[in-house]
Amino acid sequence: MRVEEQIKELREKINYHSDRYYNQDSPEITDYEFDMMMRELKKLEKEHPELATEDSPTKHVGGTAKRTAGVLVAHNVPMLSLQDVFSKEEVCEFVEQMREQLDNPEFVVEYKIDGLSMALRYEQGNLALALTRGDGVNFGEDVTANAKVIGDVKKKLKDAPEYLEIRGEVYMKNEAFERVNERQELLGKKPFANPRNCAAGTLRQLDSSVTKERELSMFVFNIQQVRGMEFATHTEGYEFLKKQGIAVIDDYKVCRTAEEVWDAICAIGENRGNLAYDIDGAVVKINSYADREKLGSTSKVPRWAVAYKYPPEEKESKLLDIELSVGRTGRITPTAIFEPVRLCGTSVSRATLHNQDFIDELDIGVGDTIVVYKSGEIIPKVKEVKKEKRPADWKRFLIPDTCPVCGARTEREKDTADIKCTSPNCPAQLERHIINFVGRDAMDIKGFGTVYIEDLVRLGYIKDVADIFELKKYREELIEQGIIGKEKNTDKLLDTIEKAKQNDACKLLTGFGIPNVGKAAAKSIMKYFKSMERLEHATAEELTAVNDIGEISAQCIRAFFEDEKNQEMVERLKTLGVNMETKEAETIESALTGKTVVVTGTLPNLGRKEAAELIEKYGGKVSGSVSKKTDYVLAGENAGSKLDKANQLGITVISEEELYRMLNINM
């Protein structure tokens, strides 16, 4: 390949992965792989300066300013990235360059936190604004509302200068990250890939209550600008900030020589596995602010600091077993159990193997010698198999076609790599199933929180959804044990459960959690069959006669009602007085009658649920995805990919105001 083509290909790849990392919070490759691509591009551009261009990713800060959590705000001080170095030689070269240009400089070596940069501006001691890095030079996003619910962010300073701007890293502790992902699983949502992605997405949330719930943290690592007070050095600034109760980077070291700097970097490397949060390197920076001012910055990086990136630590181990666990969504996750090895200061003996596709790609089986690594992260990963060392009786591992917990049939979810247990009564996924059943889109039993469900399942009061409607039998016990709270709270929830028996049968069908049968499909099905009894005995052919019910959905419905445990559960629900029929909804003829509408974004006045109910009331059908069959897309602010697809397909996009006009409703 010619050099020009190499450079072009590298730039395209780097721009793509930079967008995935900075703007979508969904990276597809490791930091190390990205760094290596960037390093190769810099090398080629240095060797062929005639091919270097101003729009190259080596010349600008990663990321673009987005308008997600707030308006765009101009940077007072650029929030630049750092020059990366990867070896002791490069670290020593930086130190010597600084010593040549400055008079006996001091260096500060500190953790490089793996999170999202945020600047805080204080006026007369009060927090006036918080903004993200954005494009790093011109604009960032206003995230003040979210910053105020982060525990480490001080809203008022004790000894305040006239104006102070500080920059830090918003991150998520590993324990908090695990709690968030556990909740994502319970709610049937996609778990976050790592704490950095979760922190970045959370900081840009439109709802600050979600930000507060996810327990973000922040370390401050620089004073950007100050008026009414002076600091000679970075460490002097840190001491002032600490007195204000502001969390600054842990365990920073002041050094004078290249050897001292390297020793401090090595010490951080040895300790990184013991930290409660992720780091992705060590930062070496000049301590004196006057020296920093003298050195200045390029368009992309300050000349007075570098970031050392630790090489991936790899070790061989023997694979002893592959353990299967069933998550609360029914997904089966294989985990490698191997002889303990020490990585990044900790002993590890387990690593996820994700799914069958990953296992097939590695070509892995019990008894294999595997290579385990941590690429600047806490979570260990299996990199490869040493096939020349595999045993004679080796067999590639296959996830079985029966659930390891309940023995029910497993199946691969369409368009994913996930293999799931098909039984909604599987103990491993019972809590998730109950949460779905009582949720807003299903039976809508308000006040039936996750904590109550966890306790009721754990104590054996709920073994399937029918048990919910028998809880009143245990009223006295529930009150005595305080599971739901005092008498008033318990009675309130039991009354709500009793009223839910009268719900339309489409809500009950949604609550069953049958694969491929969501809220919209359940409505269409019950509108066609009218009663649960007719649906129970419907053939696959009859089911596919329902609009938007294909063969796969029909098979899922048949499998559900053919399951003996499900039959018993439905009979119990009937006996307990739960409504099994649907009423014909009264609709109003309008311009939307028979039309399919997709709702996306944040509407000025209507919530998503209210908009959907309004559309259905006027004869329209609400769909969750945009396709050629979509007639209209009702779009609000931050509409995203659904709006993009609608424009690509030439589908009519309407606003809330236009919707009212179509329905002849006066606003």
Tokens of residue 392, six digits:
């004679």
Q: What is the domain count for the chain?
A: 5
Residue 334 has pLDDT above 50, yes or no: yes
- The position carrying tokens 């491929």 is 516
All residues at 6 or more sequence positions from 468 whose CB lies less than 8 Å from its CB, including other chains: 434, 437, 438, 445, 462, 497
- The position carrying tokens 């709802």 is 207
Alpha helices, DSSP H only, in 272-413? Answer: 289-295, 356-362
Residue from 432, 435, 438, 444 nearest 609 by CA = 444
For residue range 40-78, what is the model confidence (pLDDT) as tens digits? 888 888 788 777 777 787 766 554 444 344 578 899 999
pLDDT at site 560:
92
Same domain, 300 and 328: no
Residue 335 has pLDDT above 90, yes or no: yes
Residue 420 lies in a domain: no
pLDDT at site 571:
95
- The position carrying tokens 């039309």 is 595
E-only strand ranges, 28-106? 72-74, 83-85
Same domain, 555 and 431: yes
CA distances from 194 to 176, 234, 480 (A): 11, 30, 41
Residue 340 lies in a domain: yes
pLDDT at site 402:
93
Q: Are 229 and 241 in contact (CB under 8 A)?
A: no
> Quick count: other Cβ atoms within 10 Å of Cβ 571?
12
Q: Which of 225-229, 414-418, 482-486, 615-619 has the highest mean pLDDT?
A: 225-229
Same domain, 444 and 376: no
What sign has the CA pseudo-torsion 209, 215, 216, 218? Answer: positive
Among 308, 331, 350, the domain-final residue is 308
pLDDT at site 69:
43
| pLDDT tier for residue 667 given thresholds of 50, 70 and 90 | low
Same domain, 297 and 374: no
For residue range 77-131, what is the model confidence (pLDDT) as tens digits? 999 999 999 999 999 999 999 999 999 999 999 999 988 999 999 999 999 999 9
Percent of residues in the chain assigned helix, strand, coil, to nearest 5 = 40, 20, 40
- Determine the average pLDDT of the residues in 509-534: 90
Q: Residue 503 is which amino acid?
A: N
| SS3 readout for 552-571 | HHHHHHHHHHHCHHHHHHHH
Residue 127 lies in a domain: yes
Same domain, 483 and 470: yes
Structural domain of residue 252, as residue ranges? 72-308
Residue 174 lies in a domain: yes
Helix (H, G, I), strand (E, B) or coil at 440: coil
pLDDT at site 377:
53
- Determine the average pLDDT of the residues in 152-176: 93
What sign has the CA pseudo-torsion 585, 591, 597, 602? Answer: negative
For residue range 133-150, what is the model confidence (pLDDT) as tens digits? 888 888 888 899 999 999
For residue range 19-36, what is the model confidence (pLDDT) as tens digits? 666 555 556 666 667 777
Same domain, 267 and 162: yes
Cα within 13 Å of Cα(213), Cβ side: 11
Tokens of residue 224, six digits:
């950007």
Q: Are 573 and 497 in contact (CB under 8 A)?
A: no
What's 145's domain CATH number? Answer: 3.30.470.30
Same domain, 298 and 319: no
Q: Residue 386 is which amino acid?
A: K
DSSP string, 303-337: TTEEEEPPPPEEEEEEEEEEEEEE-TTSBEEEEEE
pLDDT at site 348:
83
Cα(465)–Cα(569) distance, integer angstroms: 8
Residue from 487, 484, 479, 546 nearest 517 by CA = 546
pLDDT at site 66:
41
pLDDT at site 64:
45
- Determine the average pLDDT of the residues in 302-329: 89
Cα(438)–Cα(499) distance, integer angstroms: 12
Same domain, 356 and 481: no
Q: Percent of the chain scored above 90 by pLDDT?
A: 49
Cα(465)–Cα(469) distance, integer angstroms: 8
Which is more confidently placed, 421 or 328? 421
DSSP code of residue 464: S
pLDDT at site 609:
76
Cα(287)–Cα(235) distance, integer angstroms: 7
Question: Element (H or E) spanning 452, and its range?
Answer: helix 450-458
pLDDT at site 330:
84
Residue from 378, 382, 380 nearest 355 by CA = 382
What sign has the CA pseudo-torsion 177, 179, 180, 184? Answer: positive
Same domain, 291 and 332: no
Q: Among the listed ranges 101-110, 161-170, 481-490, which one has the minimum average pLDDT value? A: 481-490
Same domain, 324 and 433: no
Helix (H, G, I), strand (E, B) or coil at 173: coil
What's 320's domain CATH number? Answer: 2.40.50.140
Tokens of residue 18, six digits:
């930079």
Please give the biggest Cα pair distance in the chain.
Answer: 88
What sign has the CA pseudo-torsion 438, 442, 447, 450? Answer: positive
- Determine the average pLDDT of the residues in 421-434: 80
Residues, the chain: 667
Same domain, 274 and 324: no
CA distances from 123 to 78, 157, 233 (A): 19, 10, 22
Same domain, 445 and 536: yes
Residue 414 lies in a domain: no
Residue 272 lies in a domain: yes
Residue 341 has pLDDT above 50, yes or no: yes
Residue from 268, 164, 271, 259 nearest 220 by CA = 164
| pLDDT tier for residue 376 given thresholds of 50, 70 and 90 | very low
Residue 473 has pLDDT above 60, yes or no: yes
- Determine the average pLDDT of the residues in 502-526: 90
Q: Residue 516 is which amino acid?
A: N
Residue 213 lies in a domain: yes
For residue range 174-222, what is the model confidence (pLDDT) as tens digits? 888 888 888 877 766 677 767 888 888 888 877 788 888 899 999 999 9
pLDDT at site 27:
62
Q: Among the listed ranges 28-37, 178-187, 351-360, 517-526, which one has the minimum average pLDDT value? A: 28-37
- Determine the average pLDDT of the residues in 398-409: 91
For residue range 268-301, what is the model confidence (pLDDT) as tens digits? 988 887 788 888 899 999 999 999 999 999 888 9
What's 650's domain CATH number? Answer: 3.40.50.10190
Q: Are 82 and 305 in contact (CB under 8 A)?
A: yes
Q: Please provide residue 313's backbone torsions phi and psi, each rounded to the nearest 5 degrees.
A: -90, 125
Cα(645)–Cα(653) distance, integer angstroms: 11
CA distances from 167 to 90, 113, 147, 246 (A): 26, 12, 13, 11
Residue 417 lies in a domain: no
Q: Among the listed ranges 292-301, 431-440, 464-473, which one has the minimum average pLDDT value? A: 431-440
pLDDT at site 328:
62
pLDDT at site 32:
65
pLDDT at site 26:
59
Tokens of residue 273, six digits:
């596995």
Mean pLDDT score across all residues of the chain: 87
Q: Percent of the chain scored above 70 by pLDDT?
A: 93
Cα distance between the two ends of the chain? 63
Kindly list the catalytic residues.
Answer: 112
